[in-house]
Amino acid sequence: MAQRDHEPAATPRRSRAGRTGGSGPLDEYRRRRDPRRTPEPVPAGPLPRGDDDTFVIQEHHARRLHWDLRLERGGVLASWAVPRGLPADPGVNRLAVHTEDHPVEYATFSGEIPTGEYGAGTMTIWDRGTYRTEEWTEHKVTVELRGERVAGRYALFATDGRNWLVRRLDPPSDPDRVPVPDTVAPMLATRQARLPRPAEAYRYEVDWGGERAIGFVASGRLRLAGADGTDLTDRRVSRAAEALGATEAVLDGELVTLDGAPVYVVSDLLHLDGADLTGRPQEERWALLDRLPLTGGCQLAPRFDDGLAVRDAARERGLPGVLAKRRDAPYRPGERSTAWKRVPV
């Protein structure tokens, strides 16, 4: 969680939201960093003068993935760590932990903060641009962000000490955006004794005999739901979704145990970043799925053109069978479809 990477200062801060007070606005920033150990900028000297209109959002793969929102204000970057990232839709409040002011030089920083240092991990620039201030008080900040990925009005407001909330005030930037569904009933296969024909209309996967699970990916977290909606989320598996960053996706797959560890074997992609893919042909869904960086406890299900070879391999390994999937078929949630055949060995 972000709080672990941004521990509260030893002494309570009185300045907030970029308002400079006391000794120096970057004192806390400097106190937490040794310029000999971190590649982060640690500038000395007076604060630069700017137009209070630059913003940056950094994706920070630290102890826990979070996004750092920084707004240039009064010669520093007022900063919040947002564990789930900025919401794309209005009506959702997300935690934004107010953190120490950063130097304006930080707006172009990306790199590796070494293990053992404050905020250790990888920092990349997720978005950058300009912003316009609508309101800026000690407890509330309303801005309009004009970035490449984020464009719109956002309100940040203090709730409890360093804990703020952030919400989007505008409708989503993409009017065609479909919100990620909360539940999806998995499509089911028709059972049959022989491999289907014509063979080339299908591709083949191993039936792992695991637990069917729909995976909901958002903010680098993976929630797994069983066919009946039971929560199957496993922390060891969900951490793997951090590699997906801000990608929003709905996956279909099986939760299996390999070498004693749970692995989510992913075979289909039903939703990607605001687009419903269920009506698209299987081949197209696979092509998009193949581009996702699945790692660790999240693995891509291997698929093959030769059904007979998969059946032989399954038999050899004592696995239940083969799944044959038509290359041109849409995904029909909750339906038992003839486009998918389950062939036991």
Please provide residue 314's backbone torsions phi and psi, each rounded to the nearest 5 degrees.
Answer: -65, -45
Nearest CB to Mn ion, comparing residues 2 and 339: 2
Instruction: Say if strands 121-136 and 202-207 run parallel, antiparallel, or are unpaired.
Output: unpaired
Structure tokens at 199: 């063979």
Instruction: Give me the 51-80 binding string for Mn ion, x by CB under 5 A, dash otherwise.
Output: ---------x-------x------------
Site residues (CB under 5 A) for Mn ion, limited to 75-104: 81
Q: Which residues contact 175 (CB under 8 A, 6 or more apart)?
A: none
Residue 189: DSSP 8-state: E
| 326 touches Mn ion (CB under 5 A) | no
Comparing CA positions, the residue from 295, 209, 283, 206 lying closest to residue 244 is 295
Nearest CB to Mn ion, comparing residues 100 and 252: 100
Interface with Mn ion (CB under 5 A), residue total 3
Quickly tell me which residue has 């941004």 as its tokens: 6
CA distances from 150 to 170, 173, 189, 280, 324 (A): 11, 8, 40, 27, 41
Residue 5 C-beta: closest distance to Mn ion, Å: 6
Residue 285 C-beta: closest distance to Mn ion, Å: 34
Residue 159 C-beta: closest distance to Mn ion, Å: 20
Nearest CB to Mn ion, comparing residues 121 and 181: 121
Residue type for position 319: L
Residue 62 C-beta: closest distance to Mn ion, Å: 6
Give me the residues that bind Mn ion (CB under 5 A), please: 60, 68, 81
